[in-house]
Amino acid sequence: MPQVQSIAIIGAGTMGSGIALTAAQAGLRAFQIDVSAPALDKAKAYHQKTLARAVEKQKMTEPDAAAALARIAYCGAMADAKDADWVVEAATERVEVKKQLFVAMQSTFKASAVLATNTSSISITDLASAVGADASRVIGMHFFNPVPLMKLVEVIKGIATSEETTARTMQLAKDLGKTPVAANDRAGFVSNRVLMPLINEAFYAWMEGVAKPEDIDQIMLLGCNFPMGPLRLADFIGLDVCHDIMMVLHRELGDPKFFPCPLLRQLVQAGRLGDKTKRGVFEYGAK
Ligand code: CAA
């Protein structure tokens, strides 16, 4: 039996809803928490659609899909999930928002619950400073989009994270069917330290007219076996997210090479954020 029976996920956006579905499919009870009712509705629709598709494709039986859906509770408040064994914060990528959530998590959940964050670049040590002595149970659990499909969980220890918290996190990631890999608490960890400058460089190649965006992607697809070209991937992740992560890398690591490409900045300023606004580098049909 898995050590963790239930998990609370704070935030019902793309990452949070993916984590909840993954947990439910792995047999855990998942509390999907968001203050926004429309966000919860959207998460539920995503869960229903993905499970229905798995049944259609005969990857899952109908009773198993129904049972997975029934394991997800949609909650408007953290208190509704206070008995959960584990918490993953997957809210907006803003330090102050996350710190406030960590303070609330500390007072809401039981003392044995691990307080994890799905942050993609914010320092775990900094976030953990919001909860004082409970910093030992704060850890980074960085999932990848789309969560149900991507195998990795990047596990990041803050300076005060205990060995026990780390060992339990590695085990939970395995219980979720993922492969955990540890990284240290430096801006962007490993994944975004390497991925985001690559994406940023693709914007420079486009801006300097080295090739058209579709050709940049085609070159990386066919020549490097990328599953998605870097510019398509940027739209998929969100150009605002890519921009914000580059700003964190730039600020924390201090190297000008991390400054976001002017063209990336301009698209974000224009509200062209990628898939979510139906237009980023590429266009994705009517809004
Ligand atoms: N949730 C659940 N299932 C999904 C899904 C989602 N969001 N998106 C696609 N799927 C399923 C599809 O239903 C389909 O299932 P069937 O085989 O049963 O039909 C299957 O996955 C394959 O989907 P597609 O045929 O539509 O597409 P594909 O084969 O091209 O794969 C992809 C899609 C997995 C997204 C692939 O293009 C890929 O691996 N892209 C790169 C993704 C990536 O790099 N992610 C990391 C981003 S960085 C990040 O997340 C961290 C950060 O901090 C920024």
pLDDT 10s digits, 195-235: 999 999 999 999 999 999 999 999 999 999 999 999 999 99
140 & 218 share domain: no
Q: Do 203 and 270 have their domain in common?
A: yes
Point out the domain boundary residue: 183, 215, 241: 183
Q: Please give the residue range of the domain that contains residue 171.
A: 6-183
Tell me, yes or no, whether 239 lies in a domain.
Answer: yes
Clarify whether residues 238 and 103 are in a common domain: no
pLDDT value at 47 more than 80: yes
Same domain, 24 and 97: yes
Instruction: Write out the chain in H/E/C secondary structure.
Output: CCCCCEEEEECCCHHHHHHHHHHHHCCCEEEEECCCHHHHHHHHHHHHHHHHHHHHCCCCCHHHHHHHHHCEEEECCHHHHCCCCEEEECCCCCHHHHHHHHHHHHHHCCCCCEEEECCCCCCHHHHHHHHHHHHHHEEEEECCCCCCCCCEEEEEECCCCCHHHHHHHHHHHHHCCCEEEEEECCCCCCHHHHHHHHHHHHHHHHHCCCCCHHHHHHHHHHHHCCCCCHHHHHHHHCHHHHHHHHHHHHHHHCCHHHCCCHHHHHHHHCCCCEHHHCECCCECCCC
Reported as a pLDDT band with limits 50, 70 and 90, residue 74 is very high
Whether 1 shows a pLDDT value over 90: the answer reads no
Q: Whose alpha carbon is nearest atom 1 of ligand 1?
A: 146
Q: Of the residues 47, 93, 123, 142, which is catalytic?
A: 142
Q: Give the chain's domain count.
A: 2
Whether the per-residue pLDDT at 236 is higher than 70: the answer is: yes
Q: Are residues 37 and 123 in the same domain?
A: yes
Q: Is the pLDDT of residue 273 over 90?
A: yes
Do residues 265 and 241 both lie within one domain? Answer: yes
Domain termination site, one of 147, 163, 183: 183
Percentage of the chain surpassing pLDDT 90? Answer: 97
Same domain (yes/no): 55, 123: yes
Q: Give per-residue pLDDT as tens, 88-144.
A: 999 998 899 999 999 999 999 999 999 999 999 899 999 999 999 999 999 999 999
Task: Report pTM.
Answer: 0.96
Same domain, residue pair 265 and 123: no
Evaluate the omega torsion of the peptide bond into residue 38 and state whether it is cis, within 30 degrees of 0. Answer: no
**94 and 213, same structural domain?**
no
Q: Is the dihedral of CA 106, 108, 114, 117 positive or negative?
A: negative
Which residue's alpha carbon is at the smallest distance from atom 51 of ligand 1? 144
Q: What is the CATH number of the domain that holds 105?
A: 3.40.50.720
CA of 146 relative to ligand 1 center, distance in Å: 5
Tell me if 80 is assigned to some domain: yes
Q: Both 219 and 170 in a single domain?
A: no
* Residues paired with residue 180 on neighbouring β-strands, in sequence order: 153
Q: How close is the Cα of 181 to the center of ligand 1, in Å? A: 20
Query: Do the domain assignments include residue 15?
Result: yes
Mean pLDDT to the nearest integer, 76-92: 97
Which residue minimizes the CA distance to atom 47 of ligand 1? Answer: 145
Give the max Cα distance, the chain: 56
280, part of any domain: no
Q: What is the pLDDT of residues 12-35, one digit of tens each?
A: 999 999 999 999 999 999 999 999
Please give the pLDDT value at position 2.
66
Edge to edge, the sheet with strand 72-75 lists: 72-75, 29-33, 6-10, 86-89, 114-117, 138-142, 152-157, 179-184
**Integer angstrom CA distances of residue 126 from 29, 30, 90, 99, 123:** 29, 27, 16, 9, 5
Are both 152 and 11 inside the same structural domain? yes
120 flagged as catalytic: yes
Residue ending a domain, among 164, 183, 202, is 183
Residues with CB under 6 A from ligand 1: 50, 53, 57, 120, 144-146, 148-150, 192, 227-228, 233, 237, 241
**149 CA to centre of ligand 1 in angstroms:** 6
Report the pLDDT value the prediction gives residue 3, as an integer from 0 to 100: 82
Note the pLDDT of residue 189: 97
Q: What is the pLDDT of residue 287?
A: 52
* Atom 28, ligand 1: residue with shortest CA distance: 227
Average pLDDT, the chain: 97
In a domain, 259, yes or no: yes
In a domain, 286, yes or no: no
Share of the chain above pLDDT 70, in %: 99
Task: Provide the CATH number for the domain around residue 230.
Answer: 1.10.1040.10
Q: Could you tell me if residue 1 is inside a domain? A: no
Instruction: Look at residues 188, 208, 190 and name the one whose alpha carbon lies nearest to residue 263.
Output: 208
142 as an active site residue: the answer is yes
> Six-digit token pair at 44?
């539920």
User: pLDDT of 248-266, one tens digit each?
Assistant: 999 999 999 999 999 999 9
Nearest-angstrom CA–CA distance, 255 and 178: 33
Give domain status of residue 285, yes or no.
no
Report the Cα–Cα distance between both ends of the chain, in Å, rounded.
Answer: 45
Catalytic residue check, 192: yes
Exactly one of 17, 93, 154, 243 is catalytic; name it. Answer: 154
Catalytic position from the list 118, 121, 123, 192: 192
56 and 33 belong to one structural domain: yes
Work out which ligand 1 atom sits closest to the CA atom of 57.
18
Residue 12: phi, psi to the nearest 5? Answer: -115, 30
Q: How far does the centroid of ligand 1 lie from the alpha carbon of residue 275, in Å?
A: 13
**Annotation says 184 is catalytic:** no
